[in-house]
Each structure stands twice: as structure tokens, then as C-alpha cells.
Structure 1
């Protein structure tokens, strides 16, 4: 099959393992550094969330950045515009490459976040649409009408129009988001597991290859790698599956 130059550019490049982001859902600096050492150069991107940031503070983020790692700082900011802008600026000063803001905070907040990220060239603002623990049946409880798809699309367009660099959404939403939004927009998908992984509290989950086929630019994997008997092998398995899924999408 003949591929255009654009299609060839989208094919995964060897030894580039930044599309699989390892979620550091751990309690201590010691656990984190042991895992980072174990994974070595095979893992170049990590997610730091509220659990670890609260336990160890921003110094650990600086330490990861100093080791040459990309840090996805999952703050899930949802505040007034000035407070969100201050949070994004703080993430930029730490050296983070991604930071999350709730799209449901509104366009003024999203625009403030994007503006605050501009001085930090590598920092991408990701808008969180609907968290992956929620399904259609949960939305009325928080005052929203089903379906999840409608809520995700509405918030995704809001984020894109505000200039956000990407979205956080489940793999199930990635297919229609990829078709409806600008091609350069990042789609970062949490809730990624292997087919043989155990049950989690997330309801909208997928495997790495499925997420890639559906249009995800990045996947976030936590316990499937972190709690594996061989984390390095689990990461390699995830990266190979993701690349296979991307190739299938490009070649389709």
C-alpha cells in the first residue's frame, strides 16, 4: 500500500515511548524512584496526580523533570480563572509538559489556562471532559442529562474553541472526538488496561491497541504496569500494543 507523506509521519517511531504515560499512583518518593529506575529509558512519561502530589509535594516533580522525564501533572483544576491560571503557571515552572483543567469550569477558565501556559513552550493544557468513573446512569445525580457522549462532545468543542491543546476522554469517546475535532488536538485516554487486567472502579476502559485504533494520541496506564510482577515487561507490552493500534488506524 502506498502511503502519503502525511500518513508516514503518523506512523510510530521506534524507541519513542512517550505515548504510554505511566500513572504514578503511589504513596512515597521511594516507591516512585524505585519504579522509575526499574523502567529506565523505556518510560519517558509519567503522570503525577493528587495522591502523590499531596504525599510528596512538588519537589518530586522537579526530580523527575531533572531526570529528563515528561510529567503529566493531573491537577484537574476547577476554580475561578485567576486561580486556574496561577495553577497552570506553577505547573509550568515545575517543568510539567501537560496539566489538566476541568472543561466544565467554562470557557473563561479554559482561556485563562491556555494563556497562562504560553510562556512555557512545552506545556500543554488538557481539558477534562467527563471522568471515566461516570456512566450515563450517573449523570442525572449531578444535574446533567444523559448521555455521556453528548456531554463529552459539548465540553470538547468548548475546550477546542478556547484553544486547549488536548482533551482527556475515555477511549470509547476518542473515535468520534478524533473525527469531529482538529487533527492536531491531543486525546489522552485514561482507564487503559490489558485484556487480562482485573476490575477497577473506572467504567469506560479499553486496551492500549483499542485506544490507539480509536484515535488516542496518548494512553495513561497505572496499576497494569505499576503493580505488575515485571513492570518493564508490562510497559513494553503496552507500548507494542499501542503502536500496533496506531499502525492499524493509519493504514485503514
Structure 2
């Protein structure tokens, strides 16, 4: 269980991230998500900078390529010292296995190997979209559970999924298999482009092991206050 909500730093520049983090108490260690938007602008330097400031990193690049390319890419990412990173489950068992091997290869001796989790279906994807655009005729739930099972088969640490599938994923895998869930919205906040959303407390109650929260915090007038409220809701809820 990751007790701190992971804050999605979905900003286009380091300066905007710096302005945002300045609204938090100096020295507080956060768990933050670095995604494609900022990584493609700033590169590995943004990860180094955040780590030097004392933050833990979820590097969400959703690798999806041939197994050899993914393995070598993961070896490089491991050297950044991130805590968690991602692949697309649709890349298949061999690709996921090679991703895990790359992380092991690239991790400095004595350091902890980063966790690698697989993206099942994006929380912005509806069942209709999946069936009509991906030509996946299974139900959304069946697709998510299938991806979770092959991710476990590949020895990954967990999956990214909607909280609504979390307990069924645990039932199909194990309780220790991580379900990291985006699409988290505090009571009364805007849903935006997410389609399968839950509150922090509800997410924990139905099986999430970690939550990622973006706009409800990053767009708030007082982001630290919102963060504290989300953290309280997340930590105080029991299953």
C-alpha cells in the first residue's frame, strides 16, 4: 500500500512544476508522477531534479515496443532511480518479461529494483470505444482482468486500472498484486475527460493499493490543502 497519494505533475515545463511545488511546505517528501508531457520536454533531468528535492517518482511512460527495445529502454530508466514505471499490457507477456529484466539489469547494485506495472485499459476508455475502435469484443472488465493475469504471468508488480476493477483484479491474481488507480476525484470535483472515477476513500475501500491524482490538486487554488484532504480520505478509509 502506498500511503501518499501520487500527484500527477502534468505540466509542460519545469518552471510550472517549480511554481506548483512552491505551494507545498519546504522539505515535504511527495510521491509524484512524471508522465510523457513533461518527460518529453525536459528529459531525464526532470527526474534527477525531483529526486534531489526528496521526492519519489512514478515514471509513467507506458512503454510499448518490441521486447528487445523495451528491455534496453528499461535498463536506462532504472538508472534514474525511479520507484515505479509502466508498460502497456497489450505489448504481450514476452515484452513485459523483458521490461522486468531490463530494470534488474539497469539497477545499481544495492539499490531497489523499480516496480513495473502494466496499463490495462485507460480510465478514459469506455467499453464502447474499446469494442468499436480496438475491435476487442470482450467486455471492458474481461479485457482488464485478462491483461492483469498476463501481467502477473510476466512477473510484473501490478497494473494500472480503474478502482472499479481493483478487487476483481486481486481476486484473479493476489492481494499483493498492485492496483494503482488514476481517475480519482474528491467528492464534488469535476470529472473532466475521465469516465470511470471514484473518490479516494472509495478507491481504497474497493481494492486500490495506490492512487494518482492530477487536476483536482494541480488546478486547485490551494493545492496543499486539497492534497491533505485527499490524503486524509485515502488513509482513513478501511476496507
> TM-score, normalized by length of structure 2?
0.92
Is 1:49 the counterpart of 2:41? The answer is no
Work out the CA distance in 2 between the residues paired with 1:57 and 1:18: 28
Q: 2:145 matched to which residue of 1?
A: 153
Matched, 1:90 2:82: no
Secondary structure in structure 2 of the residue aligned to 1:192: coil
Deviates more, 1:124-133 or 1:194-203: 194-203
CA distance in 2, matches of 1:42, 1:142: 42
**8 Å contact from structure 2 (residues 29, 54) kept in 1:** no
Once the two structures are TM-superposed, the CA of residue 19 in structure 1 deviates from its matched residue by 3.1
Task: Report runs of 4+ in structure 1 exceeding 6 Å deviation.
Answer: none
Q: How does 1:1-252 map to 2 (within 5 A)?
A: 18-40=3-25, 41-119=27-105, 120=107, 121-140=112-131, 141-245=133-237, 248-249=238-239
Pair 122,232 (structure 1): closer, same or farther in 2 beyond 3 Å: farther
Aligned residues: 232
Is the 1:18–1:43 contact (alpha carbons within 8 Å) kept by the matching residues of 2?
Answer: no
Structure 2 alignment gaps of length 5 or more: none
Unaligned runs of 5+ in 1: 1-9, 11-16
Decide whether aligned partners of structure 1 residues 46 and 244 sit closer, same or farther in structure 2, where only a CA change above 3 A counts.
Answer: same
Per-residue Cα deviation, 1:103-123 (whole angstroms, up to 9, x for no partner): 110000000011112243240
CA RMSD between the two structures:
1.5
- Once residues 43 and 181 of structure 1 are traced to their aligned partners in structure 2, the CA distance between those partners, rounded to angstroms, is 31
SS in 1 for 2:23: helix
Relative to its length, the structure with more helix (as a share) is 1
* Cα pair distance change 1:42/1:241, threshold 3 Å: farther
